[in-house]
């Protein structure tokens, strides 16, 4: 008995579809990863140091254009440093220069069970001396997340600033 061409094609394509669908993760995991990344951005933009630390694993590493922050204490200092600069500028009557993040072109894949890769482009904007919103910096980011005890957390974050 001969197999129909459609059956043969289906048998050849099926493993590729299973692999592609597996790397996209479950709906629930994708939503959970998106939520972690949104909480990350909202925490840093609102200067919520504890909320910011709360989306990272204890052993997390942030590589911001070659400057490394390792573990919760150093990661918390990123936001507390922003708060100190804001307060110092405010005391001097200078603009506080709060940053606001815009994230785009998000791609989420799941290379292994309980591991996710979140890739995107980021841009920060701030109010300039004239009160207009202006781009401060932009570039690509790559976040590696892990699912620990049923919760997705960022284990490593790599940000690069476009210089061209």
Average pLDDT, the chain: 87
Which one is predicted more confidently, 89 or 26?
Answer: 26
The three-state secondary structure class of 1 is coil
Question: What is the per-residue burial (b if ≥16 Cβ within 10 Å, else e) of 123-141?
Answer: ebbbeeeeeeeeeeebeeb
Please check the confidence at residue 18 and state whether its pLDDT lies above 80.
no
Helices vs strands, H then E, count in the chain = 4, 6
Please check the confidence at residue 35 and state whether its pLDDT lies above 80.
yes
DSSP single-letter state for residue 4: P
> DSSP 3-state helix, strand, coil percentages of the chain (rounded to 5)?
40, 40, 20
Q: pLDDT at position 90, please?
A: 82
User: Torsion over CA of 52, 63, 84 and 94, rounded to 10 degrees?
Assistant: -110
- What CA–CA distance (Å, rounded) separates 38 from 145? 13
Q: pLDDT at position 5, please?
A: 55
Give the pLDDT confidence of 131-154 residue by residue, as tens digits: 788 898 999 999 999 999 999 999
Count the Cβ atoms, other than its own, within 10 Å of residue 149: 5
Q: pLDDT at position 6, please?
A: 52
Q: pLDDT at position 153, please?
A: 98
CA–chain centroid gap for 88, Å, is 28
Q: pLDDT at position 3, please?
A: 52
Q: Domains for the chain: give ranges and CATH numbers.
A: 26-159 (3.10.450.50)
pLDDT above 90 as % of the chain: 67
Give the pLDDT confidence of 108-123 residue by residue, as tens digits: 999 998 999 999 999 9
């Amino acid at each position: 008995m001969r197999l129909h061409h459609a059956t043969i094609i289906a048998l050849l394509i099926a493993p590729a579809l299973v692999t592609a669908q597996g790397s996209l993760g479950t709906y629930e995991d994708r939503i959970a990863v998106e939520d972690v990344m949104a909480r990350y951005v909202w925490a840093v933009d609102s200067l919520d140091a504890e909320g910011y630390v709360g989306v990272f694993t204890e052993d997390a590493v942030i590589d911001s254009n070659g400057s490394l922050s390792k573990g919760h204490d150093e990661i918390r200092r990123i936001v507390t440093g922003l708060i100190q600069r804001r307060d110092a500028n405010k005391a001097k009557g200078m603009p506080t220069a709060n940053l606001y993040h815009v994230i785009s072109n998000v791609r989420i894949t799941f290379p292994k069970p309980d591991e996710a890769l979140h890739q995107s482009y980021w841009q920060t904007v701030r109010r300039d001396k004239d009160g207009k919103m202006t781009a401060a910096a932009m570039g690509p980011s790559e976040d590696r997340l892990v699912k620990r005890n049923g919760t997705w957390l960022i284990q490593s974050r790599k940000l690069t600033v476009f210089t061209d």
